[in-house]
Structure 1
Amino acid sequence: MPENARDLNATSLDPNDDAPEWTDEMFEHAELAINGKVIRPATGYLGPNGVVKGRPPLRDRAKQQVTLRLDPDVLAKFREGGPGWQGRINRALRTILEL
């Protein structure tokens, strides 16, 4: 057997496997399929800290994707806060525009 091939019949766990253990919450949100037919669709996705719910429902109007040029220091300030920086820019603009 080539050295990079795995023995599919092996029963021992891979000590180098860094995949997280599945929690009950993960199973609750996972898609359930039998013979390829989806019985229950997934209700979230796996994020770095476990199950994350899907996107919130769209309001009466969906957001539009645009291209916007910002000064590097402005962009860096919003990105400092981590994920969600685009939403923070949106909230800042809504505040300034009093929307």
Structure 2
Amino acid sequence: MNESAKTSNWTDVDDAPELGPEFFQSAKQMVAGKPVSPTDFDAAKKRMGRPPAPLKRPTLNMRVDADVLEALKASGKGWQTRVNTILRQEVLERR
């Protein structure tokens, strides 16, 4: 933390001054810490967020026993992918 932040007179974040239109008009648009043109900024905004999946999976809502769901979630991150794998193996084996 820098010295000015340590010696601040603010006791609450609500005490921060309002940012008026002048602030935003003079603000520089940045991408990855570097100033960019408005066109480049708009293009970068379109790329922000989670990248699209190569294959869109449909959403499935289903009911399962509470203990089954608890065990699946307890198996850790990626449990939904594991459920998909289990269902795929069961369905494809019966064809």
TM-score, with length taken from structure 1: 0.46
Structure exhibiting the larger radius of gyration computed from Cα positions: 2
Which fold has the larger relative contact order, with Cα–Cα distance below 8 Å and residues 6 or more apart in sequence? 1
TM-score, with length taken from structure 2: 0.48
Higher helix share: 2
Higher strand share: 1
